[in-house]
Structure 1
Amino acid sequence: MSESEESESPAVFEKSDAREKSGAGDKSGAPSMFSRVAGFFGTGRRTSAWRERVAARVRYLSVQLERERLRRPAEADRGALLEGMAALLEEARAGARERHLLALGCGAALERAWANVRAAELVLLELVAEEELGSWVAQVQSCAESSLRPCDPQLVALTAAIRKQDERDGPVPDRGLLIRTLGCAYVELDKEYTRVRSLRNILVAATVVVFLGAAGLALFGWFSPHTLSLCFEPKDTTATIVCPSIQRPAGVTVTVESLADRKDVLLVEVAGAAGAALTVVASLHRIQGTSSPYMLPLAAALLKVPTGALSAFLGVLLIRGAFIPGLSNLDSSGQVLAWGVAFGASQYLVTRFVDSRAQETLTNTGKPAAGAGTDGTQ
């Protein structure tokens, strides 16, 4: 039972798909201009891998729902469960179809789809016949062992029931125990993916903030180049002033600040971003694939680029302020940009901790918490 899937009953799918295909046509049945444009841009299609997996899972559960509906349809409590499962599958389908900008960061559509799929599976476990419970035991046990701590009471009880069944040829574990254990496993899995999504959102927000900071400095340097001057006047030659964009002869009454160009800050930041991009490529060998629908490695990689631009500006500014011993002046424009590239690449010293944290989070997703004691403490 993976983190991404959807579906619904075949009848519901056929009706809804028919409405999507023919709802915008004219009276003659020919599609309108609006429907053709919407179809060209993919409106009504599932364009994400997790949406397709949700759709496949919901279709499978819909088949199981129809099967259970035909088995003993007369029982009142069973009818309520059947109707509830149908509603859950419809909600899962609606979540997989949902698209709007506000839901991109919070993952509401994905969580809506998967929460309903999992709830539908719990209802299905409530509906299946007694003779079919044995086929669910291994599935529930596998899910529980991958999500719950070894000391979790539900997992302990399920393990004991399975051991009793194997050793004494006893009955299949109680249906209620299976449902509770699978539900607890789903809750823990949801918590893990919530942590992944939260970290992804933090990285995206940090990327936006750092990018806005770097862009603000470049904009300020564009309109007030003298205030953020990155020009140098080498001590061994008083006839030249070195700026990131150009080397200029120094006049008698001309200061270093007055010769600063509006492109200087932007050029240094571009050089720093280029250096950071190299570290992104260099770090690809450590990136592992993940089944998580949240692109955490990509978010961590994107953070490096604006951080490199900001690091380059601050590094060159520190050199100009004689903060770094032995680097009070640079001799050429190429040297200034080269230091910008070096400082941009040096952001890896900071962002590597972010990479490590992201990889650790992905590695631990879907696994029981390590180091837990028998009392549930860490």
Structure 2
Amino acid sequence: MISKNFHIVKVKDLYDKFTAGVLVVDESYQRRKVWNETDKIRLIETILIGYIVPSLYLWDAETNPTTGQTITHIVDGQQRVNAIVEFIEGEFSLLKSSLTQPDITGSYANKKFDELTKEEKVNIWSYNIPVVQLSEVDNVETIKSIFYRLNLTDYNLRAQEKRHSTSNGLFAELAIELSENEFWSNNNLFNAGDIKRMKDIEFCASLILLARDGIINQTTQRPLNNAYDDYKDVYKERDTDKIRILSWIDSLDKFINDKTIGFIQKKSQLYTMFTVIDHFERNEIEISDNIISNFTEFVKMYLDYRNEEVDNNDTIKIILNTYKLAVSEGINKLQNRMIRFNIMKKVLLQGISNIDIKDI
């Protein structure tokens, strides 16, 4: 039976342990920082006015037998701890627009920690945070399960974050490694919100599925969940799949220019380009200047196109309309993925003006 000890810890003690590296976040199951600046400011505001904040859940994971130093995991509450540490270290100010108490706005608006009065600083250092200390837990798997349960609702934790909190292993490690490739940040393919919610890792995990299984129906989380489980401990093709996906990334970079980047930044288009590049590489089709030109031409027509009444004899409009329908809803359905793949493949190889309508 897991034991729980309820007590309080002062911000000063919390800060010292966190900055000393003895109070830690285990990234093998914890999600990334999710709070935005407003969330952080409102936590600090709560502390300044002396209201109660939610409890932290802590677990003493290991003790150094020589020094007696204990490493404690933050099982739940890393967002709060990070916000407190960042404010004390001057990483953000209390923006007036984010404060909620009109009667104290004048005292704290736009101030950083160093700009507070001595009394206000002391109040923060001495603020008591409630803690639930977990004990009689002898393995991290149980802790992962507790973390998952504490964050069970979809509001708190997305599907990818749930996978991250309950799974590790070879498949998970490859998805994370791929997500750290500079290609994504260099081309702004995932925004800050995507990264915080691990959508970049989820997309890279989908690329691994593409490398392994080809284009599949992915309207539910089941394919990814199964892959995380199936390739957790044994993943013989890991290095091969990694090399293959890195090659796709190198090839996709050739298609990116000022005229096409907006198109490629859409996740459905990004995925479609990877499906076509995979086809090209498997069939040893070189990405020529002509193929790049065909793509740029298509993107311009696509971005300029508005849903119009389609003349049955106007092949270009039929192609554009069919493609747009395949990205308007059900973008992860196998049928719509295949429509986009087939159109894009023909566009790149032939040019949109040379496609026979019977081929669509």
TM class, shorter-length: under 0.3
Larger radius of gyration: 1
Give the strand-richer structure, 1 or 2. Answer: 2
Give the helix-richer structure, 1 or 2. Answer: 1
TM-score using structure 2 length = 0.24
TM-score using structure 1 length = 0.23
